[in-house]
Structure 1
Amino acid sequence: MADAKQIVRRLIEEPWTGNMHVIDELIGPGYIGFDPSAPEPIRGPAGAKTQIQQYIDGFPDGRITVDDQIAEGDKVASRWTARGTQTGEVAGIAPTGKGVTVSGITISRLDNGMVVEEWTTWDTLGMLVQLGAVPAPTQA
């Protein structure tokens, strides 16, 4: 079996380079994902593709880089950074032409070399502030 960290790295990075087939290759059919930007759990490879594609459409030059990973048992924790320019609509926000950099962490659970469950948290507020959709927080 391929190294669990490499499987997860491919799943995080490769869709952003045009390889959406990696989702079918590495996500199990019973996959469930939790992401603060998704109103409901993300289910199966098709759900994962839909979730990722909306951000690729909004940030077509976007890239995600895995910065650090830790693996233990059947889980891999990945710290990542996403960068891109918003030239398409995303989250109901019209294109701004602004660049964003956000960080996040994804914990992936694997079974037989496939990702079957993920928990992601990322700086959604930071993205909204960088896009000018919400004002920057002020210090009290």
Structure 2
Amino acid sequence: MNHSPSTPNPPAGPKGLVPIVRAMREGIPDLRYRIDDLIVTDDAAAVRLWVTGTHEGSLFGLAPTHRRFEVAQMNFERFREGRIVAHHRLTDELGMMRQLGIVG
């Protein structure tokens, strides 16, 4: 179950993830993630990271701005039988939209 605000409940597994990753890679070809903290247990993982890139292509319907951004993100995963069963992602999407010049 995906509990992320901007992409709630896509289809489970690769079927739901592939279109999201494809859109991100097409819109932000230099997309990078820098992990600052990672905590892993038997059935969960938490990561605090930074997301950076340049908005060079269409991104979920947003025309390219050709601007760079850097925003904080946190992900929380729950595992069962070796598979992710719950995903929570918090991204500073407002900060990203401001850096891209989409909102003031």
- Computing the radius of gyration from Cα coordinates, the structure with the larger value is 1
Q: Partner of 1:75 in structure 2?
A: 44
Q: Which of 52, 55, 59 is the aligned partner of 1:86?
A: 55
TM-score, normalised to structure 1, is 0.68
Q: Partner of 2:76 in structure 1?
A: 107
Give how far 1:57 is off.
1.1
Q: Partner of 2:90 in structure 1?
A: 121
Which amino acid counterpart does residue 105 of structure 1 have in structure 2? M
Cα deviation, 1:34-93, whole Å, max 9, x if unaligned, reads: 22212x312222111112221111101111122211223411111111111110011322
Q: How many residues align?
A: 103
Cα deviation, 1:101-134, whole Å, max 9, x if unaligned, reads: 1111110011222222201111000110011000
Supply the distance in 2 between the matched residues of 1:67 and 1:46 (Cα, whole angstroms). Answer: 29
Identity of aligned residues (%): 32
3-state SS, counterpart of residue 2 of structure 2 = strand
**Greater fraction helix:** 1
Q: Partner of 2:67 in structure 1?
A: 98
Supply the distance in 1 between the matched residues of 2:45 and 2:55 (Cα, whole angstroms). Answer: 29
Unaligned residue ranges in structure 1 (runs of 5+): 1-31, 136-140
Supply the distance in 2 between the matched residues of 1:107 and 1:43 (Cα, whole angstroms). Answer: 18
Q: Partner of 1:14 in structure 2?
A: none
1:53 paired to 2:22 = yes
Unaligned residue ranges in structure 2 (runs of 5+): none
Tell me, yes or no, if the aligned pair for 1:55 and 1:90 is still in contact at 8 Å: yes
